[in-house]
Amino acid sequence: MTKATVATCSLAGCFGCHMSLLDIDEKLLDLLQLVEFDRSPINDIKHISRPVDVGLVEGGVCNAENVHVLQEFRRMCKVLVAVGECANTGGVPSMRNGVSLKRCLEQSFIRGLGIEGAQIPDDPELPLLLNRVRPLHHIVKVDYFLPGCPPSADAFWRFLTELLAGRDPALPRELIRFD
Amino acid sequence: MIQLAGTALVGILEEALDRHGKSPQAALQVLMSVQRALHHVPDEAVEYLSSRLSLPPVRLRGLVSFYSFLSRTPQGEYVVHLSDNITDQMRGSRKLGDALCERLGVRLGETRSDLRTSVHRTSCIGMADQGPAALVNYRPVTRLDDQRVGLIADLINARVRLEEWPPEFFRVESNIRRSDVIFRKPIEPGAALRASLDRGGKNLEAWEEDLAPTDARRHQLERGGAETLKEIYRAELRGRGGAGFHAGIKWQSVREAARDDRYVLCNADEGEPGAFKDRVLLTDFADMVFEGMTVCGHVVGARKGIVYVRQEYAYLHDHLQGVLERRRARGLLGTNILGSPLDFDIELHFGAGAYICGMETAMIKSIEGRRGIPRRRWPLPVHQGYLKAPTVVNNVETFACAAAISARGGAWFAGIGTPQSTGTRLFCLSGDCERPGTYEYPMGVTIREILRDCGALDAQGIQVGGPSGALINRGDFDRAVCFEDLPGVGAMMVFGPKRDLFDAITNFALFFQHESCGLCTPCRVGTTLLANYVKKFERGVGSPVDIAEVKHISSLMKNMAHCGLGQSASNHLMDSLQKFPHIWESRMKTQEFVPAFDLDWALEEARSLTGRTDPAAHLPARP
Ligand SMILES: Cc1cc2nc3c(=O)[nH]c(=O)nc-3n(C[C@H](O)[C@H](O)[C@H](O)COP(=O)(O)O)c2cc1C
Ligand code: SF4
Ligand code: SF4
């Protein structure tokens, strides 16, 4: 049996979702029987090398680089999954959406305490920030939304195994209730 | 700034309290009076009224923020609300509104710095047959055109009192173009009540001879009510307010309720855009409506009725009070009605701008002086309604029909219309038709017949029953309007062959977004998402991916929304996708998903903050 290919990345996220994926513990070995990882922080591959079956994207879209990465994922992944609250809704980083980018940057780099040589960074190496933090589906078509902050290890496991078995990966209630 | 000396403010507030009373139920009425007098509800007024009404300030502030005609910040001395229904827009209301703003020197939605005037848009004000229309200080001004708008601006600029404006500005026509067996010859005031009382077994002269309410007479009263209920059943009268529930079943539940305090509420909120028949009924057939309520009071054993009238119709206040007074003077309301032991009286209660208050449990809350937010469905109002007492809620037209049934018999009524939809129905024709207005037809009339009579056979489509109803195309014109086929309130907005129906669905989507009460997520969020998708197509960046999303959201709302508003808020979109797919397809410039906004624009602010112009400081529109 040929293994399914999976790519993952974290955009404006905290890597908590990736940690939760690793949290499937010994099932990780079972998972590796099923899939092969392409680009992922787990193996430090920087670009997707070939079309893959499943893309798991953690985090929202806060800057130009996030947009490029997300577009690459959309181009290369047959199935694209928004993983976790940040990817689904913008999450914690999108709390800045209530404040203008100007105020946000000025507070951080000009008016903040103990700042020397106050200046908003303009190095071309740095990706420019979008005026608002966006969930993935504002930028590209998303096929599945995996909720949770982070989604539990069981949710990852269940979702991936069902999807790879060609079944509808709808999660049972106990995996998507958080109270 | 109007500087209010404390004592002047107190005077105004006390006057409002005198007029409406100091019960918690009076809160909304008091605040609306304050709004009219001061052009806003200042925080000091909230503080003061909170102690006088014994309600926490937050409760009053909650009302001010909920109802669209109440405002916390000062509005102009002349507040203009431009009716923004699609029928107004089709007659150029947007341009007229812009012209008005320009001549007044004020921006839409804002107040002029000298506090002279503010101009807003509002949902349909119930004048779709004589638009474009507007409210000026809550009084309707109809048939706006360039000239009228110019004059209005001059009058406001010159600070002429509304009483001195040309009276024809405020003329509201009933435009009854066709009447049938119920409204052609309305019943004489008192005829329905007399018939209802007489069913108890004694004729009226006997009732009037001796006023002492003996047990025997109470028994007769009781029997009369029971017999009239049978007539309502025999008539198979179904509600005219939307859901088409059998009035007899409702009335019987309240009649059999274990409590003695019972209420009869008449729903005159008529918020459905394109509807105006209840306005016509309250204007020309108020006696019949009040009589139907009184007959209902007789049947269910209620002593009090309340008519909930939308603020847009508050100009009818004096007229309606006059009719009520006359009825009291003639012994048709009050104690010992027509000499019988029947006591019943009717109060008017006015809304403050909220479509959702037409939904019955929201209406009940509004009458109780609360925010008009639907409550859970059970217990039903017939078991626990107004002030938790058993309550009948019926539409204006339903009560008028009930009066006719009591006077002329259930069998007569049942003989009109179709087997499951008895009687006649009032239709409100507006939009692209030669003779807009109110038409009465027996139930079961075909769309084609209505279109022929109003001069609109060339129509490409009709929104039947308002935005929450159904959008139909020419293939549906032979369908019958009745509960068996095409149900819904009788509002029909006609779209002629040259109209772009996308304008209509855009208008409706924005309407629902604005009017969602916000209680439940499927509707609060769903209506906004749907409006955003419609705007996305308008900008030419919609794709099949988005259509699939619109359908998905719609089905979520239909299944998960708490009340009828959310459940029906996407009907017009689903219908248009099915019946007028070309209006979507012609806007679909791409098969691939494209963001609703321009990605490069989203970097503009960062570019200007950093001064960067390098290639990496831009994003291509497409990858
Ligand atoms: C959002 C919404 C708005 C409504 N607006 C009205 C209205 O303006 N007038 C009305 O009579 N019924 C309206 N209804 C229906 C009422 O809830 C209720 O069913 C009706 O008043 C009962 O009277 P009927 O049986 O005589 O029709 C509305 C319902 C919903 C869900
Ligand atoms: S969803 Fe939660 S865990 Fe995942 S990236 Fe966002 S904040 Fe971190
Ligand atoms: S469906 Fe809409 S209007 Fe009805 S309760 Fe929910 S939010 Fe309010």
Closest to B275 (Cα-Cα) out of B396, B181, B192, B169:
B396
Assigned domain for B35 exists: yes
Residue B120 makes CB contacts below 8 A (sequence gap 6+) with B79, B80, B81, B82, B108, B109
- d(CA B622, CA B614) in angstroms, rounded, equals 18
Q: pTM for this structure?
A: 0.94
Interface of B with A (CB under 8 A): 545, 593, 595-597, 599, 602-607, 609-612, 614, 616-617, 619, 623
CATH number at residue B160: 3.40.30.10
Q: A124, B617: Cβ pair inside 8 Å?
A: yes
Same domain membership, residue B225 and residue B167: no
- d(CA B411, CA B232) in angstroms, rounded, equals 9
B245 lines ligand 1 (CB under 6 A): yes
Helix (H) or strand (E) holding A133: strand A129-134
**What confidence tier does B212 reach under pLDDT thresholds 50, 70, 90?**
low
Residue B336 makes CB contacts below 8 A (sequence gap 6+) with B211, B213, B342, B343
pLDDT of res. B2:
46
Model confidence at B578: pLDDT above 90: yes
Quickly list DSSP for B70-100. --SSPPPSEEEEEE--HHHHHTTHHHHHHHH
Helix (DSSP H) and strand (DSSP E) numbers for chain B: 25, 14
Asked which of A6-10, A110-114, B324-328, B494-498 is least confident by mean pLDDT, the reply is A110-114
Same domain membership, residue B571 and residue B592: yes
A96, A97, A123, A130, best to mutate vs chain B, most B CBs in 10 Å = A130
B357 lines ligand 1 (CB under 6 A): no
Assigned domain for B340 exists: yes
pLDDT of res. A112:
85
Mean pLDDT over each residue of chain B, to the nearest integer? 95
Q: Given B461, B476, B498, which residue is the final one in a domain?
A: B498
Contact (CB, 8 A) for B366 and B251: no
pLDDT of res. A179:
77
Residues facing residue B446 across a β-bridge? B480
Assigned domain for B280 exists: yes
What percentage of chain A exceeds 90 in pLDDT?
86
The domain total for chain B is 5
pLDDT of res. A116:
86
Model confidence at B180: pLDDT above 50: yes
B598, B599, B607, B614, best to mutate vs chain A, most A CBs in 10 Å = B599
Model confidence at B209: pLDDT above 90: no
Q: Given B364, B382, B414, which residue is the final one in a domain?
A: B414
Q: B609, A121: Cβ pair inside 8 Å?
A: no
Residue in A closest to B604 by C-alpha: A131
Tokens of B419: 């087997």
Residue B168 makes CB contacts below 8 A (sequence gap 6+) with none
pLDDT of res. B4:
57
Same domain membership, residue B34 and residue B156: no
Query: For chain B, what is the radius of gyration of the CA atoms?
Result: 26
Same domain membership, residue B192 and residue B157: no
Closest to B477 (Cα-Cα) out of B490, B497, B462, B466:
B462
The single residue listed with the structure tokens 């069981």 is A154
CB-CB neighbours of A114 under 10 Å: 4
Residues facing residue B238 across a β-bridge? B246
Assigned domain for B621 exists: no
Same domain membership, residue B487 and residue B547: no
Contact (CB, 8 A) for B329 and B302: no
Residue B344 makes CB contacts below 8 A (sequence gap 6+) with B264, B293, B294, B297, B298, B302, B303, B304, B305, B333, B334, B337
Q: A101, B605: Cβ pair inside 8 Å?
A: yes
Same domain membership, residue B241 and residue B219: yes
Assigned domain for B45 exists: yes
pLDDT of res. B604:
97
- Give per-residue pLDDT as tens, B385-400: 999 999 999 999 999 9
Higher pLDDT, B6 or A167: A167
Assigned domain for B419 exists: no
Q: B616, A127: Cβ pair inside 8 Å?
A: yes
Determine the distance separating the centroid of ligand 3 and the alpha carbon of B527, expressed in angstroms.
10
CATH number at residue B465: 3.10.20.600
- Give per-residue pLDDT as tens, B85-103: 999 999 999 999 999 999 9
Same domain membership, residue B87 and residue B164: yes
Q: Where are the beta strands (DSSP E) in B123-199?
A: 134-136, 139-141, 176-178
Same domain membership, residue B463 and residue B590: no
Kindly provide the ipTM of the predicted complex, given to two decimals.
0.94
Tokens of B613: 């112009």
Q: What are the two backbone dihedrals, phi and then psi, of residue B143, each rounded to the nearest 5 degrees?
A: 45, 55
Same domain membership, residue B328 and residue B316: yes
Same domain membership, residue B491 and residue B364: no
- d(CA B5, CA B53) in angstroms, rounded, equals 22
Same domain membership, residue B590 and residue B510: yes
**What confidence tier does B41 reach under pLDDT thresholds 50, 70, 90?**
very high
- Give per-residue pLDDT as tens, B513-572: 999 999 999 999 999 999 999 999 999 999 999 999 999 999 999 999 999 999 999 999
> Looking at beta carbons, which residues of chain B come within 8 Å of A74?
623
Assigned domain for B159 exists: yes
Tokens of B392: 């009948």
pLDDT of res. B396:
98
- d(CA B606, CA A120) in angstroms, rounded, equals 10
- d(CA B410, CA B401) in angstroms, rounded, equals 10
Contact A136/B at CB under 8 A: no
Give, as one character, the DSSP assignment of residue B5.
Answer: P
- Give per-residue pLDDT as tens, A112-167: 888 888 899 999 999 999 999 999 999 999 999 999 999 999 999 999 999 999 99
pLDDT of res. B1:
37
Tokens of B513: 């977004």
pLDDT of res. B169:
97
pLDDT of res. B622:
67
Determine the distance separating the centroid of ligand 2 and the alpha carbon of B352, expressed in angstroms.
44
Q: Starting from the CA of residue A93, give the closest ligand.
A: 2
Q: Where are the beta strands (DSSP E) in B256-296?
A: 263-268
Supply the range of the domain harboring residue B11.
Answer: 6-66
- Give per-residue pLDDT as tens, B361-387: 999 999 999 999 999 888 999 999 999
What number is the average pLDDT over the span A84-101?
96
**What confidence tier does A43 reach under pLDDT thresholds 50, 70, 90?**
confident
What number is the average pLDDT over the span B578-584?
98
Q: Give chain B's largest Cα–Cα span.
A: 99
pLDDT of res. B203:
54
What number is the average pLDDT over the span A47-73?
96
CATH number at residue B535: 1.20.1440.230
Assigned domain for B521 exists: yes
Ligand 2, atom 2, lies closest to the CA of A149
Say how far residue B64 (Cα) sits from the centre of its chain. 19
- Residues 8-47 on A with a CB inside 8 Å of B are none
Map residue B227 onto helix, strand or coil.
Answer: helix
SS3 breakdown of chain A: % helix, strand, coil, rounded to 5?
40, 20, 40
Ligand 1, atom 12, lies closest to the CA of B241
Determine the distance separating the centroid of ligand 1 and the alpha carbon of B267, expressed in angstroms.
7
Q: Given B392, B414, B436, which residue is the final one in a domain?
A: B414
- For the beta sheet containing B437-442, the strands, ordered from the edge strand earlier in sequence to the opposite edge, are B176-178, B437-442, B424-431, B491-495, B461-464, B470-473
Determine the distance separating the centroid of ligand 1 and the alpha carbon of B356, expressed in angstroms.
9
pLDDT of res. B487:
80
Helical H segments across B444-570, by residue range: 447-454, 501-515, 521-538, 544-560, 564-568
Ligand 1 atom with minimal separation from the B238 CA: 25
pLDDT of res. B223:
95
- d(CA B279, CA B270) in angstroms, rounded, equals 8
Give, as one character, the DSSP assignment of residue A111.
Answer: I
Same domain membership, residue B125 and residue B35: no
A150 lines ligand 2 (CB under 6 A): yes
Domains of chain A listed by start with CATH number: 4-95+131-169 (3.40.50.700)
Higher pLDDT, B269 or B202: B269
Tell me whether residue A166 is exposed, middle or buried, using C-beta atoms within 10 angstroms of its C-beta: 0 to 12, 13 to 18, 19 or more: exposed
Q: Starting from the CA of residue A90, give the closest ligand.
A: 2
What number is the average pLDDT over the span B326-333?
98
Model confidence at B306: pLDDT above 50: yes
What number is the average pLDDT over the span B226-246?
96
Model confidence at B204: pLDDT above 80: no
